[in-house]
Amino acid sequence: MVTISIDGIRTVVPEGTTVLEAARDLGIAIPSLCHNPGLSPYGACRVCIVEVKKGERSTIEASCTLPASDGLVVITNSERVRKNRKVLIELLVSSCPTSKTLQDLAANYGVNRIRFAIKDKNCILCGLCVRYCKEQMQSGGIGFVGRGTSRKVATAFGVTPQECRNCGGCEWICPVCERACTAANLTNGLCGGCQNLMHVETCELCVHCSESVNARGHRVY
């Protein structure tokens, strides 16, 4: 057993527990896209970053691959963490702007603009589908192909292999397959509906008698 401190809370966890697992056991929410309890840790999306205190210095590390160790001091929502996490969300949205999961994450963290070129790749290379296919289905029918900016998830030579069981698990576990409610009408890569960034329509003598929020924005009747 090891003792660590997360956001000022001391807790004892079994050796081998990751900081992400320890934090969630305490009810501390840390966002993550590439993590799944039934799969090996990968550390690809990086949105689960936390600040690790080391004396007078600190480092930013991915909590899903960081093992808990005695005396470890972790801060999950510092200003430094929030600033870095927002940049990571911007990068992810720019790669996959039609994803509901990413648009919701951007709204939750107050990301109001994307400063990177929008290139809808429909994939954030989180590796969940690849690990699910190999570790849970014992198939390995899909994998990463190419390097650098050409890297993608595909089958060998673009042909469906015999190992594929057509289970649909790769689509089920994908964090970006679900399309945003306004995927066809984004502004600079963002939906903004959940943040009420769209024009608010009101009557001239509005007393806020009724409010509703839907896919087309915030309308007051």
Sequence ranges of the domains in the chain: 2-118, 128-173
Helix or strand holding residue 58 (H, E) = strand 57-62
* Residues 202 and 193 sit within 8 Å (Cβ to Cβ): no
**Non-local CB neighbours of 9 within 8 Å, separated by 6+ positions:** 26, 28
Per-residue pLDDT at 212 exceeds 60: no
pLDDT at 144: 92
* Residues 4 and 10 sit within 8 Å (Cβ to Cβ): yes
> What CATH code would you report for 128-173?
3.30.70.20
Q: How confident is the model at residue 207 (pLDDT cuts 50, 70, 90)?
A: low
Phi, psi for 66 (deg, rounded to 5): -95, 110
pLDDT (tens digit per residue) in 87-137: 999 999 999 999 999 999 999 898 988 999 998 888 999 999 999 999 999
Lowest mean pLDDT segment, chosen from 18-27, 36-45, 74-83, 208-217: 208-217
pLDDT (tens digit per residue) in 101-110: 999 999 989 8
Question: Distance between CA atoms of 38 and 200, rounded to whole angstroms?
Answer: 44
DSSP for residue 103: H
Percent of the chain exceeding pLDDT 90 equals 58
54 beta partners? 57
**What CATH architecture is 2-118?**
Roll (3.10)
DSSP for residue 143: E
Report strand pairing: 2-6 vs 73-75: parallel
Per-residue pLDDT at 26 exceeds 60: yes
